Amino acid sequence: MKLNIAVLAGDGIGPEVIDQALKVSDAIAKKFNHEITWRPALTGAAAIDAVGEPYPDATHEICASSDAVLFGAIGHPRFDNDPSAKVRPEQGLLKMRKKLGLFANVRPTFTFPSLLDKSPLKRERIEGTDLVFLRELTGGIYFGEKGRRDEGETAFDNCVYTRAEVQRLAVKGFELAMTRGKKLCCVDKANVLETSRLWRETVQAMEKDYPEVEVSYEFVDAVAMRLVQWPNSYDVLITENLFGDILTDEASVISGSMGLMPSASLGSDIGLFEPIHGSYPQATGLNIANPMATVLSAAMMFENFGLQAEGQAIRDAVNSALDKGIVTEDLADGGKAYGTNEVGDWLAENI
C-alpha cells in the first residue's frame, strides 16, 4: 500500500516522540512491503512563531490532501501564562478539527499486564480494563458563541448541539460496540441540561437499529466516580465535547502513565492520530519523553487503513519493550531508564 501521511510534530516533546513513531512506521512499511511518504507541516506555537498562525492554510492543504495525519503535541508556557493572548496554539487544534471534519475523538483506555502496579488505582480494580470513549469533537461549548458583557464583568459560553451531530457520533459508537463487547454507555447530564436531553432522546431512538447492543445512560458525575471504582465495567462510552475532554483525561491515568495512551480523531474522509499527552515543555530536548503513546497512535493509524497485522506488530513490540523494561524514566521505577531515542530504536529493530 502507498500512503501519504501528513506529519504535524508541533511543540515541546512533539517532534521527539513523532520521530520515534516515524522510525517504527518505517520499520513496519519495510516488513510488510508498504510505501510511506511523510509530509511535514507546521502547527501550534511553532507555526505561530513562523507565520503568525497556529494552523496555516499551507498546513491544511497538506493535511486535507493526505491519507491521514500523524500529530505530536501543541502548547507553550508563554501562551498558557498569558490570558490576554489573542492567538494561541490550541486555536489551531480546534480549527484543524473543524476544517478537516474530525468529529469523533476515539480514546481507548487499556492496561498492560506488566504495569498493573504502576496505576494509581489498585490492581484488582483495573485488571481487565479495556474501554473506549468516543467524544464529540466539533460541537458543544467549545464551538458555541462566547464572549463578555457588562463591561467585561460577565462571561458566557453557549453549548449548542444538533440532532445530526449527535446521530453521527452515536452511529460510530454503536458500530464500535458491535465489534467489541456490545455495550454502549451514553454519558450526559440530562437532569439539568437541555443539550443532554437531546443527546439522550436521540440515542434512545437509535437503539432499535442496534438490537444486539446493550445501552445504558449515566450522568457524567456518576461516570467520573465509576471510572475510579470499576473502570472494567465499561466497554464503549459516547459523550459530548466538554464531558469527553474531562473524562478521557481522568481515564488516561488508569494505565499508569499518560505516556502510554494513543488516540484518533476521525471524520468522514480523514483520520488524525495522536498521543493523549501534552507538549510537556519542561522535557523538551532532554530525551526523556515516553514515545509509546505516539507509537501506539501509529498502530491505530495502520488499523484504520485495515492493516490489522501491522497494528498488532507495533502493539506486540510495545508490550515486549514494557515486559523487558525498555522504558523511559516515567516507568523505570528506580531501574534503568532508556532515552526516548533508544526506546524508538529498540521498537523499530524488534519489528
Residues classed as catalytic? 142, 189, 221, 245, 249
Q: How far apart are CA 69 and CA 101, in angstroms?
A: 13
Contacts of 249 (CB under 8 A, 6+ apart): 276
**CB neighbourhood size of 21 (10 A):** 31
Closest C-alpha to 134, from 303, 230, 264, 302: 264
Closest C-alpha to 219, from 252, 250, 192: 192
**CB neighbourhood size of 328 (10 A):** 21
Q: How far apart are CA 254 and CA 234, in angstroms?
A: 13
Give percent helix, percent strand, percent coil of the chain, each to the nearest 5.
Answer: 50, 20, 30
**Amino acid residing at 109:** T
Q: How far apart are CA 26 and CA 42, in angstroms?
A: 21
Closest C-alpha to 80, from 282, 274, 286: 282
Return the sign of the alpha-carbon dihedral for residues 46, 58, 340, 247.
Answer: positive
